[in-house]
Structure 1
Amino acid sequence: MATQALSALLKEVRACTLCQEHLPHGPRPIVQINRSAKILIAGQAPGNKVHQSGVPFDDASGDRLRDWMGIGKETFYDDTQIALLPMGFCFPGSAKSGDLAPRKECAPQWRNRLLAHLPNIELTLVIGQYALAWHLPDSANTSVTGHVLDWQKNWPTVLPLPHPSPRNAIWLKQNPWFSTDVLPALKAQIQHILKK
């Protein structure tokens, strides 16, 4: 019954045209969800490359994220282990520097309904400012760096992360503690969860 309800909801999501008029490349909702998933990745929105392929995190950001997690593509794309629900399901278009923000219509329309179908999540990776504002609303005025510095606040069930985009290479160089303190804990927790 629950699986059928999720399938019906996913059919609705994939047919969504709510913000079609604002999407320069048209709607193509991209999500990965299964009731069995143990890890949730709450990202921003698909980029142009992902919009073209239809595969979430099928880009340099995904390569870096998988490296941070210590897993390969086979595990990453196993929906019984990992759910991928960005704040906006469609590519919002490009801005002068990077992509536009996720469309504001998407999360209120779909997010809580989909999250209700994820009863087994043990760890949520919250990537970037828009996901942080939704998943950690009590600290809405905190910067991404502030959230990541305070990573142990909701650990081991929630981990704020900077965006794994190659554009954040400077941030990673300026914050070496992220690689020495946060990533080893993340990799260990993911292995612990996946071995259950």
Structure 2
Amino acid sequence: MKSTSLKFFILAVTSIAVCWAGKIPTSKNSEELKLRYPFLQVDPLTARALLDNDFESGTEEPWYDSSPNTVHWVVEDFSSPAEGYSPPAPLSNGAKYLRATRDAQQTAGQVILRTVTFTALPGDVISFDFWIRSRYTGANALDLVLSVDDVETTLISLSGYSTSVNLEWRRSFVTILDITAPPTGRDVTLIFYAYCGGNTDDAIALDNIFLIPASFDGKDE
């Protein structure tokens, strides 16, 4: 019994360590990134209007995948998922969503999803639907991180929802900048850092990401 418990503990610690190891600040304005993702050249104020994505277009742009290994974000269809098994019923009427998709061997690993650099104003809220599941409680991770001048701050951590019995989507509202920020706002980047394990029932997915202006009176979930 002790040996089994120790094994689960090591698994969870390793998962978290791998996830956090990927949080290495990188410049979002490098020429290499601009060549790969032309939409990164949009000015930050205009980019505010580009963040909304329900993935019905079949692409994550202008969010983009910067995952370092064999796990990547892939737009899936609810009726024909490529990653193992069907997700729970969506919260809206959409047909598509974004999912952490592993290779044929279901290799575990980290996935990273970034926004273009955009101007966030005081009180702005980001809303998104998420689904996270794992065989062992807390084994998978999903964090939303704010990056300002390559300094990263975790806005919300959702690994607490990572359980074997989580069979539903949830919606979260997260304040990007509080009201004490400069009235002209700040140029920022939002990043989803996630870790998906190698078990069949491990899963991480996102949907319906929207930027909600400061007038919205939402609360973090």
The structure in which a higher percent of residues are helix is 1
Greater radius of gyration (CA): 2
Both structures adopt the same fold (TM-score exceeding 0.5): no
Q: TM-score, normalised by structure 1?
A: 0.30
Q: TM-score, normalised by structure 2?
A: 0.27
